[in-house]
């Protein structure tokens, strides 16, 4: 997913002990002056004539879009056997990839400040719009597919997705919805030490429901309201509980890299990649693999690349890799693609701000954190918490984030600090009214109970 991961020079090194897996995470520690920001966002492609999803093949398909970007803007192809499945920019580390239902994702370069992030987002959207216009493909910024059924949604030709599609219905009711019909925006951020990782992971896990509330933008399913403001967030509550959730063990005394490794070792695997093919090992544990007990690969033991692949198939609200991934937000309009990384950079990349954010959440119990996670998809900023509403917490963390960004003092050519990117969500936090609620008002009013106008209002 992200361009920030830097694997071992020889990723085919065999895994012989758990210590190697712990060391893999430890290798992510970076001095503060090397911290970077990696922003990812997904969007739905659609054909404006008929409002249909974009298939992979055909003159107006995803393959044609990828080839058009490759030819016009000199991206390099990412191939799976003879099939183009993505693009990469070797100089910056940015990449374009396909989610299972054709959602088009930019995994941005690891950049030093948010002004670079926003420039990158703008350049990418301009490129895909230029090529897309020639092909009759538009793009939609929303957290969940507002119109199409699962049956109408195409599947991209990536081997790992065939395995996941078969496995997901066995372990949850919404796994296929997550794969094929959801879109998110996330930011990947660094840590300096194990202690720094621990504070950032605990703080961001606790606050992830607040971000979900602020960015709630998925109120429609199959042409009608679904009863939620962030249905994208709701579907994760019933998507393979073995690999999702709020990770309460992170808040236990003594949590460290090794404890996360112990968790990841027992998360069921999806696949092993060998000789250009994905081997289905779904349901088996990495512990089994280390012991040479995979029936599909009898006696074979994993490499560090297998470990890296496995970690990418774990989907908690915040994911630990060699950096931290904030995973709680719906995709949305252009300006809010920059607001999401601004929120988390402001909270986590200035120590004074991080300490203040931790002070906000450190007294919350596991049950309270889970209740927030469970309630926010439906009521967003109006969710009750203790004597407050989530809106009150959002105001507090926005103020902390804004001060954190000012403390970073990274200015653009006009003298603006990175805090300028929070302006896009000021109205949401101050009013307590989300983008989803604005869409619902339009649906019941000017749109005459049709979701079709959203393909114009929320198109890039």
User: What are the pLDDT digits (tens) for 294-349?
Assistant: 999 999 999 999 999 999 999 999 999 999 999 999 999 998 999 999 999 999 99
Which element (helix H / strand E) includes 106?
Answer: strand 104-107
Q: How many CB atoms lie within 10 A of CB 445?
A: 9
| Residue 267 token pair | 């998360």
The number of folded domains in the chain is 1
Contacts of 30 (CB under 8 A, 6+ apart): 190, 191, 192
pTM: 0.96
1 belongs to a structural domain: no
311 belongs to a structural domain: yes
250 belongs to a structural domain: yes
Cα angle for residues 184, 186, 187 (degrees, 5° grid): 170
132 belongs to a structural domain: yes
203 belongs to a structural domain: yes
With 0-12 / 13-18 / 19 or more C-beta atoms within 10 angstroms meaning exposed / middle / buried, residue 409 is exposed
Spell out the per-residue pLDDT of the chain, length 460, in tens. 333 333 444 578 999 999 999 999 999 999 999 999 999 999 999 999 999 999 999 999 999 999 999 999 999 999 999 999 999 999 999 999 999 999 999 999 999 999 999 999 999 999 999 999 999 999 999 999 999 999 999 999 999 999 999 999 999 999 999 999 999 999 999 999 999 999 999 999 999 999 999 999 999 999 999 999 999 999 999 999 999 999 999 999 999 999 999 999 999 999 999 999 999 999 999 999 999 999 999 999 999 999 999 999 999 999 999 999 999 999 999 989 999 999 999 999 999 999 999 999 999 999 999 999 999 999 999 999 999 999 999 999 999 999 999 999 999 999 999 999 999 999 999 999 999 999 999 999 999 999 999 999 999 9
4 belongs to a structural domain: no
Is 43 within 8 Å of 104 (Cβ atoms)?
yes
Q: The domain spanning residue 429 has which CATH number?
A: 3.30.590.20
324 belongs to a structural domain: yes
> SS3 for 327?
strand
Domain membership of residue 58 as a residue range: 18-457
d(C-alpha 250, C-alpha 231), whole Å: 26
51 belongs to a structural domain: yes
């Amino acid at each position: 997913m992200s361009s920030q991961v830097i694997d071992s020079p020889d990723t085919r090194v065999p895994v012989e002990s758990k210590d190697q897996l712990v060391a893999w995470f430890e290798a992510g520690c970076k001095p503060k002056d090397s911290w970077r920001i990696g922003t990812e966002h997904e969007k739905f492609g659609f054909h404006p004539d008929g409002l249909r999803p974009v298939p992979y093949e055909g003159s107006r398909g995803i393959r044609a879009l990828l080839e058009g970007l490759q030819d016009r803007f000199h991206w390099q192809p990412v191939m799976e056997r003879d099939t183009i499945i993505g693009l990469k920019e070797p100089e910056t580390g940015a990449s374009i990839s396909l989610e299972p239902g054709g959602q088009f994702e930019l995994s941005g370069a690891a950049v030093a400040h948010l002004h670079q992030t926003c420039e990158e987002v703008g350049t990418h959207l301009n490129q895909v719009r230029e090529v897309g216009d020639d092909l009759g493909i538009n793009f939609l910024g929303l957290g969940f597919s507002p119109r199409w059924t699962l049956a109408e949604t195409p599947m991209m030709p990536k081997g790992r997705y065939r395995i996941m599609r078969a496995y997901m219905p066995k372990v949850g009711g919404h796994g296929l919805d997550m794969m094929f019909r959801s879109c998110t925006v996330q930011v990947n951020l660094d840590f300096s030490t194990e202690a720094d990782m621990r504070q950032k992971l605990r703080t961001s896990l606790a606050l992830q429901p607040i971000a979900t509330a602020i960015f709630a933008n998925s109120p429609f399913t199959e042409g009608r309201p679904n009863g939620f403001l962030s249905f994208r967030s709701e579907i994760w509550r019933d998507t393979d509980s073995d690999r999702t959730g709020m990770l309460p063990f992170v808040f236990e005394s003594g949590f460290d890299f090794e404890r996360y490794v112990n968790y990841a070792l027992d998360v069921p695997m999806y696949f092993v990649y060998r000789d250009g093919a994905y081997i289905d090992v779904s349901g088996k544990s990495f512990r089994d693999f280390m012991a040479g007990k995979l029936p599909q690969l009898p006696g074979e033991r994993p490499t560090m690349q297998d470990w890296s692949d496995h970690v990418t198939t774990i989907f908690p609200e915040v994911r630990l890799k060699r950096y931290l991934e904030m995973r709680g937000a719906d995709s949305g309009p252009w300006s809010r693609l920059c607001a999401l990384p601004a929120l988390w950079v402001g909270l986590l990349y200035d120590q004074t701000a991080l300490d203040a954010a931790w002070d906000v959440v450190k007294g919350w119990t596991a049950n309270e954190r889970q209740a927030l996670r469970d309630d926010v998809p439906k009521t967003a900023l109006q969710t009750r918490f203790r004597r407050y509403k989530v809106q009150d917490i959002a105001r507090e963390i926005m103020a902390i984030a804004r001060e954190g960004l000012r403390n970073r003092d990274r200015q653009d050519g006009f003298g603006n600090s990175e805090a300028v990117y929070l302006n896009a969500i000021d109205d949401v936090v101050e009013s307590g009214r989300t983008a989803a609620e604005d869409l619902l008002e339009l649906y019941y009013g000017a749109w005459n109970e049709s979701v079709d106008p959203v393909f114009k209002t929320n198109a890039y």
